[in-house]
Amino acid sequence: MKSVFKFILNTIPRPILIRMSIVVRPILAFLLKGNRFTDPIDGKSFRMFLPYGYGNQRNNVLSPSTLSLERHRLLWLYLQNETDFFTATEKKKVLHFAPEQEFYKRFKKQTNIDYTTTDLLSPLADVKADICNLPFEDNTYDIIFCNHVLEHIPDDTKAMQELYRVLKPNGMGIFQIPQDLSRATTFSDDAIIDQKERAKIFGQYDHVRVYGRDYFDKLRSIGFKVIEEDYTSKIAPELVEKYCLANGEIIPVCFK
């Protein structure tokens, strides 16, 4: 199964994968019903989660029902338990880059947010836009989600500046990235052009860098106030296992 999923991820373009998953998802959820692991996003349980990874594949990480990964489930728990994102009575303007399927329909249904999605290619994007040249006014959004996007962007400094520009004062941004916390500094090398080699080194064929611990300071240099939220440390170990979370993953919670 791992080899099949790896082949699919590395050969089929992401927009097509998104459309295919709409059909495949309910079939997988039915076949893998059980009680070993639970997806906190929809509360459904399974005997196993699916493997995932463009390079090295990880076992039991992709939820059959929502197609969420560890980072999605961690973010959901954080928003649910530590913020008023789902419960605020005052309507907030939310901008979501490259919207994840497991969030898209749920966020769209929320009456307490004015929800806009954006991306260059995603079929789920309301606004097709370049993150380095956004068509939005300054200080527009109360909340911005931009998760696992910046590692694809050659000029991530410009992208961060644009995120800062369109976020309202006191607004919150969550900018998750794949991060190697054993690295002090971020690594990139434009000379590596072979897709298999890029997947091996960067974790995915279309990534342009591996972020190190200096990622948070780079966000601070743009002007953000950054909280390095080690949220799995606040969750009971048995739930970390049951929800298939990645121990020690940091959520970058940023404020303007």
Query: SS3 of 43, please?
Result: coil
Sheet with 127-128: strands ordered across: 127-128, 113-119, 92-97, 141-145, 167-174, 251-255, 225-229
Tell me the average confidence (pLDDT) per consecutive run of 10 residues in the chain, 256 residues long: 50 54 64 88 93 75 92 97 96 96 94 96 91 98 97 96 98 96 90 78 82 97 98 97 96 98
Confidence at residue 170, expressed as pLDDT on a 0 to 100 scale: 98
d(CA 151, CA 149): 6
**pTM of the model as a whole:** 0.86
Residue 44 makes CB contacts below 8 A (sequence gap 6+) with 29, 38, 63, 65
Residues paired with 254 in a beta bridge: 173, 226
How much is the pLDDT for 189?
A: 80
Containing 239, the helix (H) or strand (E) segment is: helix 237-242
Any idea which residue has 């080899």 for tokens? 3
Q: Cβ atoms within 10 A of the Cβ of 148, count?
A: 18
pLDDT at residue 18 in the model: 52
How large is the C-alpha radius of gyration of the chain?
A: 18
Q: For residue 239, give both structure tokens.
A: 């739930």
223: DSSP letter: T
**The predicted structure's pLDDT at residue 54:** 66
The predicted structure's pLDDT at residue 8:
47
